[in-house]
Amino acid sequence: MTIKAWRNWRTFGAFGLIGGALLLAACSGQTANDSGSGTKQSAGNDSAAPAAPAGDNALPEPKVQDRKIVRNANLDLRVENIVAAVQQIDDVASGAGGFVSASNVLVNSGNDGGDNVRRTQTATVTIRVPADGYSTVMSRLRGIAKETVSETSNVSEVTEEFTDLQARLRNLQATEQRYLELLNKAASIDEILTVQDRLNRVRLEIEQATGRTNVLNNLTDFASITVQLSLPPAIVQADSKNWAQKAWQASWKTSKDAMVVLGTVTIVGAVFLAWLAVPAIILLVLWKRFGRRITDFARRLEGGGQTAVKTD
């Protein structure tokens, strides 16, 4: 084969390779177009199809991460009977799967503006109920009251703190496991003491993180509701007395006060006279016994004085 023939074969081979590549590319493009058309048609059909009805046949929604929410509430209620209301609150908490965490009943004494002393009762009850039944329990507590004076609710989210604690706890547990492996490989006493000291610190942090996690779980699982109970205010009746009755009542009260003052003065005077009677009786007894002698002695002194004057 000559050099010229070799060059011709090489040229034909190059053109053959280029043509094959172009043909292959054309086939691939047609396949892609067909596939794209099918995809677009399918997408169009999907978009044109009606949405699935929401019901039993609907697909379940994706599950969202549980949120950690702390719920607290304060209720100020007025009731007819304090003791009965406290028992009703206990029944509501127990029925919802909760419990009474604190209860305090007080008896207050006060003056109604006159001579009568009025005794009233108040109570404070704190209950813990599952967070799922929070709304139902609040509704039942309002039903106990004759009047709802005030209601305050406080909601705080601790999801971020809880997530951070979980991540920290996993890291600490992994660190604890590594320290345990190092402790098993320690060859000297110094190495053992050093690793053990760091292991104790890590375990302390694990206990703190675990304790805080348990507290958050308790706060979020159970809502706290504090109920203040009081009796309705007393109804003050209008004074229906006329001026004559009021004057008579005022005079009677003034006369009673005057009699009290007069009686007090009389008693004080009698006591004072009683104290004076004791020395008076003593002086009387002494006078009866020694009075004559004293008189005679005085007369003698007087007679002796007169005789001396005459002699002079």
Question: How far is the CA of 51 from the CAs of 47, 54, 93, 242, 264, in angstroms?
Answer: 9, 9, 44, 82, 99
Tell me the DSSP string of 278-301. HHHHHHHHHHHHHHHHHHHHHHHH
Q: How many structural domains does the chain have?
A: 2
**231-251 mean pLDDT:** 71
Range of the domain at 96: 69-156
Q: What is the pLDDT of residue 240?
A: 61
Asked whether residue 7 is assigned to any structural domain, the reply reads no
Looking at 156, 181, 199, the residue that finishes a domain is: 156
Residues 101 and 166 in one domain: no
Q: What is the pLDDT of residue 237?
A: 54
pLDDT at 200 over 80: yes
Provide the mean pLDDT of the chain: 75
Asked whether residue 165 is assigned to any structural domain, the reply reads yes
Say how far apart CA 199 and CA 192 lie, in whole Å: 10
Residues 146 and 169 in one domain: no
Looking at 168, 190, 218, the residue that finishes a domain is: 218
- For residue range 142-168, what is the model confidence (pLDDT) as tens digits? 999 888 899 999 988 888 888 899 899
Asked whether residue 6 is assigned to any structural domain, the reply reads no
Say how far apart CA 133 and CA 289 lie, in whole Å: 101
Say if CB 141 and CB 160 are below 8 A apart: no
Asked whether residue 101 is assigned to any structural domain, the reply reads yes
Classify strands 222-230 and 117-130 as parallel, antiparallel or unpaired: antiparallel
- For residue range 32-42, what is the model confidence (pLDDT) as tens digits? 444 344 433 43
Say how far apart CA 259 and CA 252 lie, in whole Å: 11
